[in-house]
Amino acid sequence: MAVSREVVEHVAALVHLGLDPSETEELARDLSSVLEHVAILQQVDTRDVSPTGHALEMRDVMRDDVVVPSWSPQEVLANAPRRNGDFFEVQGILD
Amino acid sequence: MEYDTAFKTISDLGRLLATREISSVELTHDYLRRIEQYDRRIGAYLAVTADLAVDQAECADRLLARGEGGPLTGIPMALKDILSTRGLPTTCGSRILEKYIPQYSATVVEKLERAGAVLLGKTNMDEFAMGSSNEHSAFRPVRNPWDFDRVPGGSSGGSAAAVSAGMAAFALGTDTGGSIRQPASLTGTVGLKPTYGRVSRYGLVAFASSLDQVGPITRSVRDAALVLQVIAGWDPRDSTTARADVPDYVAALDGGIRGLRLGLPIEYFGEGMSPGVEARIRSAVDAFRDLGATVEEISLPHTHYGISTYYVISPAEAMANLARYDGVRFGLSSAGCDIWETYANTRQAGFGREVKRRILLGAYALSAGYYDAYYLKAQKVRTLVKAELDRAFQRFDALLAPTSPTVAFKIGEKAGDPLQMYLSDVYTVPANMAGNTGLSVPAGLSEGLPVGLQILGRQLDEATVLRVGHAFEEATGYSADRPDLSAAAPA
C-alpha cells in the first residue's frame, strides 16, 4: 500500500504535526512499508466478529457523586508555558 | 563489599538489612557509586536523585531500627521516566517533556514510597514508550550491559539495563507490546507484565490506553512477586483497574509445578527465530518435563496477525493520547503566528521520528475512508487473538514461548527499518492484546548473550505464572548469570 507525500501531508495536518519536506518523504516510505505488512489483516474472516476495545470485561464503572478536593490553580498552572493570573494564556482559536 | 551488594536480590538485601549487617544508607551509596562508575557508558539513567535517595534511606533505616517495615523497605530502585514523580522531572524520553515536572505521583510510585523503597533515579526509555531497542530516546541510547555495542531492548531499556548491571535492586517498567518482557529477555533479568487492570495506570503517561501496564523488572522471580504484591490492586483513581482481590503472590511461589499443564505454541517456532534462541527454549521445555509438568504443542493460528493488529491499534490509541502535547498547558511550546502554527511547530520540534511515524500511522488508520479497513478490522482480529488465547487456557495452565526471536541486536542494526523493529515484538504483543499476564525469565545464554523464556498466563493468574517461573529459576539458576562490566569502568 503505497502512501504518497500528499497523503502524509494531509494526515499530518489532521494531527497538527509540522513536517519538513525530507521528513515527509521518509515518513511516506515508512508508512508504506508498515501498511503493506498490515494489509494481511484483510485475509482474516471477521464476519460476525465484534471488535474488542478493552481486554478486561468491564461495564459502567461509576463512583459516588461526592465532591472531593481537586488541585489548586498553582498546581494546575505549574507547567504552563504562558500564564495569565489563574489562566492558561493561549492564542485565539475563534476569529 | 561494593561488588557483593551489586547483584543481590531484594530478598538477599532484605536479610542483610534486617540483621543490620548493612544499612540502607550504605546500600544506597553502593548503588550510587556503581551508577557513577558504569552509567556514563551504559546510559540507563536520565536523572539520578542522589540526595532524595539518601534521605529516603535514612528514613528507612529508622524504620528498620524499630523492627518495622516490609520486604521493600530500604531497597534502592529505579523508575522508568514515564511514571509521574511529584516534583521530579518526568520526560518520557522526549524533548517535548524535557522540562515537565508533575505535580503528583503515580499510584504505583506512592505505593512503593509507602513500602519504604529508595528512589535512585528515573530511567531512560524509548520516547513515549515507542520502541524495542531504547534507540529512540530523545536524549541518548541505552547500551546493553552484556555488550555495549548492542541494544538492551525497549522501551524499558533503561530500567532493564539498570537492574542487569547492578545499578538498581529492582525497577519499574511499562509494557504495551512487550516493553518490559523483551528488554528483560535481552538483559538477562526477570520482567513481568501483569494482567491489564491488575496495576493502576494513574500517573502513568499514556501511550496506548487499552494495552499499557506497569510491572517490575527484577533479578529473580521471587523479587518480581515481592514488587507485584506492593503495586497491584484496585485503584479508585483508575477506572480500568480490576476489582479482584490481590492474592499472596509470594506464598504462591513454592507450590512446585508437578502435574501442571504447559502449552507450546507451534507458530512461535517459525522463521525469524534464531537457532540459538530456539535451543534455549527447547532446553527449557526439557527442564519443565523434569520438574513434573506436562508440555504439549498447541496451534495458535492468529499469531501471524499479531503484529499487524498491534501496529494498527496501538498507534491509533497513541495518536489520541499524544494530542495533548500542544504547547498550551505543559511541556515544550514553540510559538507560531497563530494557535495552529503553535501546535504544528511544537509537535514538530518536540517529537522524535518514531513518535511521528506512529502518530501518522494511527491517524491514517482512523481517518475517514480507512477506519473500517484498518482500525475496525484490527479490533475484530484482536477479538479472535484473545478468543484463541482464552481457548488455549482451557487446555493449559500456562504457555511457554520465547520472549524475543533473537538475542540483543547491534545498535543501529534495525533502527533504519521500522518494520524489522516492529517484527521483533511478535511473541510479546498477544499478551497485551488479550490483556493476559506474561513473565520473561532468563533461560541461559546464546552466543554469550541472554535469552528469555516467556511464560504466559490467564488473566489475573500471575500466581501461576510466577510459580512456573520460580520453579524454572530454582532448577536452572540462570537468573544468577551476570554481565562482565569491566569494559565500562573508567580508566
Catalytic-role residue among B179, B314, B440, B479: B179
- Contact of B421 with chain A, judged by CB distance below 8 Å, is answered with no
Other Cβ atoms within 10 Å of B247 Cβ, number: 14
The pLDDT confidence band at residue B415, using thresholds 50, 70 and 90, is confident
Query: Are the C-beta atoms of B432 and B211 separated by less than 8 Å?
Result: yes
User: Does residue B203 form part of some domain?
Assistant: yes
State the nearest Cα–Cα gap between A37 and chain B, in angstroms.
7
CB B187 within 8 A of CB B173: no
Give the mean pLDDT of chain B: 96
Report the 3 state secondary structure along B26-59: HHHHHHHHHHHHHHHHHCCEEEECHHHHHHHHHH
Core vs surface per residue B469-486: b (16+ CB within 10 A) or e: bbbbbbebebbeeebebe
Distance between CA atoms of residues B110 and B339, nearest Å: 37
Establish if B341 belongs to a structural domain. no
- Please answer whether residues B149 and B439 qualify as being in contact, where contact means their C-beta atoms are separated by less than 8 angstroms: no
How many Å apart are CA B463 and CA B457, to the nearest integer? 9
Please check whether residue A12 lies inside any domain of the structure: yes
Helix axes A5-14 and B353-366, enclosed angle (nearest 10): 90
Which of B445, B431, B440, B444 is CA-nearest to residue B403?
B440
Give a yes or no: residue B383 inside a domain: no
Q: What is the pLDDT of residues A10-68, one digit of tens each?
A: 999 999 999 999 999 999 999 999 999 999 999 999 999 999 988 888 888 998 999 99
d(CA B462, CA B457): 7
- Which residues of A are less than 8 Å from B435 in CB distance? 55-56
Longest dimension (CA), chain B: 70
| Cβ proximity of B152 and B134 under 8 Å | yes
Whether residue B360 and residue A54 make contact (CB cut-off 8 A), yes or no, is no
Distance from CA of A41 to the nearest CA of B (A): 7
Q: What pLDDT is attached to residue B365?
A: 94
**Is residue B343's pLDDT more than 50?**
yes
B466 in a structural domain: no
Is there a domain that residue A16 lies in? yes
Is the CB of residue B186 less than 8 Å from the CB of residue B428?
Answer: no
Give the count of beta carbons closer than 10 Å to the beta carbon of residue B339: 18
pLDDT at B8 over 90: yes
Q: Identify whether A32 is part of a domain.
A: yes
The residues that bridge with B437 in the sheet, in sequence order, are B457
d(CA B328, CA B42): 35
Q: Is residue A70 part of a domain?
A: no
pLDDT tens for each residue of B160-219: 999 999 999 999 999 999 999 999 999 999 999 999 999 999 999 999 999 999 999 999
Inside any domain, residue B332: no
Domain presence at residue B449: no
* Catalytic residue flag (residue B99): no
Residue A21: domain span? 5-43
Instruction: Classify residue B144: in a domain, yes or no.
Output: yes
- Nearest Cα neighbor of B330 from A74, A88, A56 is A88
Residues of B in Cβ contact (< 8 Å) with A53: 210, 379
Residue B130 lies inside a defined structural domain of this protein: yes
Q: Which of residues 86-105 of B touch A (CB under 8 A)?
A: 99-101, 103-104
**Contacting residues for A62 by C-beta, under 8 A, at least 6 apart:** none
B359/A15 CB distance under 8 A = yes
Quick one: pLDDT at residue B416? 85
Instruction: Give pLDDT tens digits for A73-95.
Output: 999 999 999 999 999 999 998 87
Q: Report which of A24, A17, A71 is spatially closest to residue B347, judged by C-alpha positions.
A: A17
pTM of the model: 0.97
Contacts of A14 in chain B (CB under 8 A): 363, 367
Please give the average per-residue pLDDT across B329-333, as a whole number: 97
3-state secondary structure A20-73: CHHHHHHHHHHHHHHHHHHHHHHHCCCCCCCCCCCCCCCCCCCCCCCCCCCCCH
Percent of residues, chain A, with pLDDT higher than 70: 99
d(C-alpha B326, C-alpha A15), whole Å: 10
Question: What is the domain count for chain B?
Answer: 1
Q: Is the pLDDT of residue B110 over 90?
A: yes
Dihedral pair phi/psi, residue B27, rounded to 5°: -60, -45
- A30 CA to chain B: closest CA distance, Å? 7
* Confidence label for B1 from pLDDT (cuts 50, 70 and 90): very low
- Express each pLDDT in B435-452 by its tens digit: 999 999 999 999 999 999
Cα–Cα distance, B352 to A46 (Å, whole number): 35
Q: Give the distance from residue B411's alpha carbon to the nearest chain A alpha carbon, in angstroms.
A: 19
Q: Which of B99, B331, B382 lies at the smallest CB-CB distance from A52?
A: B382
Q: What is the pLDDT of residue B489?
A: 64
Active site residue B155: yes
Query: CATH number for the domain including B31?
Result: 3.90.1300.10
The predicted pLDDT at position B272 comes to: 83
- Written as nine digits, the cell of B374 is 484498518
Residue A38, in any domain of the structure: yes
Is A17 within the bounds of a domain? yes
DSSP H or E run through B440: strand B437-446
pLDDT in tens, B203-259: 999 999 999 999 999 999 999 999 999 999 999 999 999 999 999 999 999 989 999
DSSP H or E segment with residue B288: helix B275-290
| Domain membership of residue B65 as a residue range | 2-257
Across the range B425-439, mean pLDDT stands at 96
CB-CB neighbors (< 8 A) of B349 in chain A: 18
pLDDT at B9 over 90: yes
Q: Domains in chain A: how many in total?
A: 1
CATH classification of the domain holding A20: 1.10.20
pLDDT digits (tens, 9 = 90+) for B302-318: 998 999 999 999 999 99
In B142-239, alpha helices (H): 157-164, 181-187, 221-231
Residue B490 has a pLDDT of: 55
Report pLDDT for B2.
46
